[in-house]
Structure 1
Amino acid sequence: MAEHNNFGAALRHAAGTTALAAGGALALGGALFGYGMLETQKFGLRRETLHVLPRGSHDIKVLHLSDIHMVPGQETKIQWIRELAELQPDFVINTGDNLSHRDGVPSLIKALEPLMAFPGAFVPGSNCYYAPKLKNPFKYFSRSDSSPSPSSKDQLPFEEMHRAFGAAGWSNLTNRSHSTVLNGLRLDLTGVDDPHINRDHFAGWTRGSTTSDQAPHVRIALAHAPYQRVLDQFTEAGADVIFAGHTHGGQVCIPGYGALVSNCDLPTWRARGLSDWEYAGKSVPLNVSAGLGTSRFAPIRFACPPEAILVTLKARR
């Protein structure tokens, strides 16, 4: 009988320990999720400097925005983006995924309105065309190069957004190229539609006169998703700098290690920040933004706060 009582007591103790551990795990998980939601509001500005302009050129301040994923009511995000106009950029680059809700366009335009007073250019991402879907988050880790399968029911009002951008004078670089003059320097711009949904087609650079390459210029390339095939095309074609987004910097990172995924075939260590892309004997600075938002179905970040980037382009040394 004593052995039976001891066995029962051991079972009760084990059950209590298991329940305590389970409760602790739930509490920890809840705390991490809460912190992850809080980090989505920790907006920051990253500053970079690149010596890519012809000698004797004046500096050009480029503000790089990406992955805003706007949802109605995100007033903190709206106000923070509006205040970026105080930086007085010379040029604004938007690399797509601007929406996460079909009613998000008015909030997006409200956020970007002060910045649309400056010259700019943009390319779309899949979440400019199609709304995000609720799906198993583990698929994000198991198949990082997968493309979404959108339908007509998921379509977002991207035309309204693009009209507003165009009315402000921003250049639409969706499989297009364009040239403009800024601070006495010719900017040759090119971009592709979103490679993540296989809509990219590299249009090359704007054709000028037979002596146009001899005039001072800088070549800037834009893509939403930094797939290697696109980066290779840009590099081989002589881009001086490449801007991209899409990765969210990994979104959920391990401190001291970094991103676990890039959501494309880009190596995870390049999922956020400035690096040099090398192809065909050429090397080009690649700036990948961690973005300013998340899908509304995955509203967390961990060790990867949202960002805008101010890149100062300077003359080559």
Structure 2
Amino acid sequence: MKIFSLFLAYNIALARFLYQSNKRIVITKREISLDRLPKEFSGMTIAHVSDYHNAFFGFRASRLIKKIKSLDADVIFFTGDIIDRRTPNLRRAKTFIKKLEQLGEVYYVTGNHEIHYDEFNKLYDAIGASKIKNISMNSAVLTKGNQSIHLIGMNDVWFYGDDEDPEIYNIFYEKLKEKVEGKSEFKLLLSHRPELLDQYASLDLDLVFSGHAHGGQFRVPIIKGLYAPHQGVFPKYTEGVYKKGNTQLTVSRGLGNSRFPYRLFNRPEIIKVTLKRSEE
């Protein structure tokens, strides 16, 4: 009986730990100082949401929506993988889209799971029918007073060719370069993949929002993230802010999971980013 009680207690504790690690959303707050940020935008707040993977966060995504709403951000950025191609739940994704659009101004770009999802057109139509601004193939301009920010959106790399062909990274770069060239104002990019920081920095982008790495899935002290897609073991870009040249990259750990269904010491995350002009 004692052994059974210990076994039961262990399993209850393990179940509770896994639930906390995968369903209790944490809010991370970041202040990013930028030399070239227009003064009118200093103090602007952004809710950064990424890698939903049609995860369950309460009926009609209620817990997640409540968390995002609590940030009271000026704008919401979603950086890809709104669905999971291995365990797709289109109804849940569409419900999340309907709830998210009610929270304010939302800008969205695709992740790698969208392109591999068999019913991608239905998902794309749902986004198109909403108030969410899909800038995956376009750009936008954010304006305050007489100043502006050039907001660039990119489809995920795999939208540009076969995922086994390394040439698609060159195609991606050229597409991004076309969007950046001739833009003199502050340039902010939404792009799913953080491991392409070298490309972003070479184009002198000011700030990039990414996800994709899932925080390294398992996080341990010192080593931190253990594995991330397209970075492999001991990935470099998993969470936080990175800088190369004039370019800063902010990476979300995201919300859901994909190939491996659990996170460890790596709770789902949404981020509130506050932009500051460096001189202030």
TM range (shorter): 0.7 to 0.9
What do residues 148-174 of structure 1 show as CA deviations (whole Å, max 9, x unaligned)? xxxxxxx34332333333333433333
Matched ranges for 1:1-317 at <5 A: 35-52=17-34, 53-71=37-55, 74-75=57-58, 78-83=61-66, 84-100=68-84, 104-117=89-102, 118-130=104-116, 155-174=117-136, 176-184=137-145, 185-195=147-157, 197=163, 201-202=172-173, 203=175, 204=177, 206=179, 213=184, 217-227=185-195, 230-265=196-231, 268-276=235-243, 278=244, 282-295=245-258, 298-317=260-279
Deviation of 1:35 (Å): 2.5
Q: Partner amino acid for 2:109?
A: V
Deviation of 1:127 (Å): 1.8
The answer for the alignment partner of 1:146 in structure 2 is none
The alpha-carbon distance between structure 1 residues 77 and 284, as it changes in their structure 2 partners (threshold 3 A), is farther
After superposition, the CA RMSD in angstroms is 3.2
Q: Partner amino acid for 1:182?
A: T
Q: Partner amino acid for 2:266?
A: C
Q: Partner amino acid for 1:218?
A: F
The alpha-carbon distance between structure 1 residues 61 and 167, as it changes in their structure 2 partners (threshold 3 A), is farther
TM-score relative to the length of structure 1:
0.69
Deviation of 1:76 (Å): 6.1
Q: Partner amino acid for 2:106?
A: G
- Structure 2, unmatched stretches of 5+, are none
Q: Partner amino acid for 2:231?
A: D
2-side partners of 1:34 and 1:301: how far apart? 13
What do residues 49-101 of structure 1 show as CA deviations (whole Å, max 9, x unaligned)? 11232235442211111111115x65268112211123232221111111126
Given that 1:59 and 1:313 are in contact with CA atoms closer than 8 Å, whether structure 2 keeps it comes out as yes
Describe the SS at the equivalent of 2:52: coil
2-side partners of 1:287 and 1:48: how far apart? 9
Describe the SS at the equivalent of 2:255: coil
Given that 1:64 and 1:308 are in contact with CA atoms closer than 8 Å, whether structure 2 keeps it comes out as yes
Q: Partner amino acid for 1:219?
A: K
1-side partners of 2:128 and 2:78: how far apart? 13
2-side partners of 1:264 and 1:114: how far apart? 31
What do residues 251-300 of structure 1 show as CA deviations (whole Å, max 9, x unaligned)? 11223431112222386343111121x2xxx23111111110112x5321
2-side partners of 1:311 and 1:236: how far apart? 24
TM-score relative to the length of structure 2:
0.77
1-side partners of 2:276 and 2:269: how far apart? 22
2-side partners of 1:275 and 1:286: how far apart? 5
Q: Percent identity?
A: 23
The alpha-carbon distance between structure 1 residues 68 and 247, as it changes in their structure 2 partners (threshold 3 A), is same
1-side partners of 2:11 and 2:19: how far apart? 12
Q: Partner amino acid for 2:64?
A: I
The alpha-carbon distance between structure 1 residues 68 and 57, as it changes in their structure 2 partners (threshold 3 A), is closer
2-side partners of 1:44 and 1:231: how far apart? 25
